[in-house]
Amino acid sequence: MRKRDLGILLLAAFAIFFSLQHEGEFSFKEAWFHLSDEYPIKYEAERLPPPIVADLNGDGKKEVLVATHDAKIQVLEPQSRHVDEGFTEARVLAEVSLLPDKIRISSGRHPVAMAAGVVDRSYKHGEIKKQVLVVVTSGWSVMCFDHNLKKLWENNLQEDFPHGAHHREIAISISNYTLKHGDDGLIIVGGRMEMQHHVCCLLIFIIF
């Protein structure tokens, strides 16, 4: 064996030994928590969408957006503390109700999917990019909010579904790509629904 090959072999062995010695050198420390009302989930449709992390107002700080069982979306500010100081409760920066403004009925307003993203492509280099929040409810209402949780628009897709169908999966895609001149962006909502006799369908909606 040549000295060069032996040197490469020893270097590789040392690299493997070093990586194994430093593998897993991370730990989880107490940071923050958020208390929410616990509701017994009887049906899969009652499950809330997972929280999302986004910088809505573009200030460089991430917020955590969570959905609640009383048809609300809350924006949390995680409190940063020093290591070993324990948990601290996250501060609620803002919240918005998904219930209608005039008639406060909760039927069909349960949040089932949400996503945040940028739709405006007119930003210049170095300019703050503010995001929008899109929420889909169990009644197939699609709502769009700005970075201050002000509702920009709402569109109901219920009439496009067969009678008796209920959702199984919902996905939201937010993009600043435009299909028509003058549009601010593009929001795509895809859903898999289940009808009677366990017949599943896949529908995709494009909202400008």
- What would the pLDDT profile of 63-100 be if each residue is shown by its tens digit? 999 999 889 999 998 876 555 666 788 889 999 999 98
- d(C-alpha 100, C-alpha 105), whole Å: 7
- d(C-alpha 183, C-alpha 172), whole Å: 18
Q: What is the pLDDT of residue 119?
A: 87
- d(C-alpha 7, C-alpha 21), whole Å: 21
Give the Cβ contact number of residue 51 at 10 Å: 13
Quote the DSSP letter at residue 108.
Answer: T
Q: What is the pLDDT of residue 65?
A: 94
For 151-207, write each residue's pLDDT tens digit. Answer: 999 998 877 766 666 777 888 999 888 888 777 788 888 887 777 655 555 556 566
198: left (phi over 0), alpha (psi -120 to 50) or beta: left
Of 30 and 199, more confident: 30
Taking CA 60 as the corner, what is the angle to CA 183 and CA 93, rounded to the nearest 5 degrees? Answer: 85
Lowest pLDDT segment from 17-31, 124-138, 140-154: 17-31
- d(C-alpha 139, C-alpha 118), whole Å: 25
* pLDDT over 60 at 122, yes or no: yes
* pLDDT over 60 at 42, yes or no: no
Q: What is the pLDDT of residue 146?
A: 93
- d(C-alpha 54, C-alpha 2), whole Å: 55
